[in-house]
Amino acid sequence: MASGNAIRGSRVGAGPMGEAERGESAPRVRVSFWCANGHETRPSFATDAQVPDTWDCPRCGFPAGQDRDNPPDPPRTEPYKTHLAYVRERRSDADGEAILAEALAKLRGEI
């Protein structure tokens, strides 16, 4: 025989939430957005709200625009760079040799 707990699986405050408790919802409009992969997203907005130019596609994460034939370009991802790669962008090999020579001279006590 099952236990006599009649409210099993519910929580305090649980109950039907209808329009009577929340009030009237604002009039809505659905707007279509398309990403570069051809996915269509149709979020709804209040009729008096400003609709954004782009919307993130929930399927692939690319930006989506309202023009189906000309969607926004996907973001260009840069490859991960190490600290050494950034240093090599700022300094030439000659600069690196000069800095190394100065540091070695300082360690040897020549400076």
Which residues does the chain have with pLDDT short of 50? none
Q: What per-residue confidence (pLDDT) applies to 57?
A: 95
The DSSP secondary-structure symbol of 111 reads -
Is residue 85 annotated as involved in ligand binding? no
User: What CA–CA distance (Å, rounded) separates 70 from 89?
Assistant: 36
Average pLDDT, the chain: 85
User: What CA–CA distance (Å, rounded) separates 93 from 89?
Assistant: 10
Is residue 39 annotated as involved in ligand binding? yes
Alpha-carbon torsion (20, 22, 28, 34), positive or negative: negative
Q: What per-residue confidence (pLDDT) applies to 1?
A: 53
Q: What per-residue confidence (pLDDT) applies to 65?
A: 96
Is residue 35 annotated as involved in ligand binding? yes
Is residue 59 annotated as involved in ligand binding? no
Q: What per-residue confidence (pLDDT) applies to 9?
A: 63
